[in-house]
Amino acid sequence: GAGVSQTPSNKVTEKGKYVELRCDPISGHTALYWYRQSLGQGPEFLIYFQGTGAADDSGLPNDRFFAVRPEGSVSTLKIQRTERGDSAVYLCASSLRGGANSPLHFGNGTRLTVT
C-alpha cells in the first residue's frame, strides 16, 4: 500500500558529473511521469511512460537528460554532464492508466543540487 517512492531524497553533485534518480511507482500503475520543479515555479513536465515505452518525452530539455523504465515499473532519470541550472526538485508521479481521467500520485521528490 506504499505510495510513490523516490530515492535519494537529496543529491548534491559537482558540475559535470553524472547522476541517476530513481522512482518506484505505486504497484500496478502503468503510467509514470517525471516532472521538474524549480524554486517558485509549478512542476514542469519532462517525460511520460506508458508501460516500458516513453510515450511522450517532449519535456526533456536537452540530450543530457534521459529516462528509462525497462520492466514497466521502476524508472530512472539520468542526467549527464550536470550543470548548475539543473538544480531543482525532480518529482515522479504514477497513475493507474494515464490520461485525463486517471489521477496522478506524486512522490516527495529528489532535491538535486549541482555545485
Residue ranges that bind another protein, judged by CB under 8 A: 4, 31, 33, 40-45, 48, 50, 55-56, 58-59, 91, 93, 98-100, 103-109
Q: Which amino acid is at 82?
A: T
CB 47, min distance to another protein, A = 9
CB 16, min distance to another protein, A = 28
Tell me the HSE value of 11 on the side-chain side, using a 13 A CA sphere: 26
Helices marked H in 1-115 — which ranges?
Answer: none
CB 37, min distance to another protein, A = 9
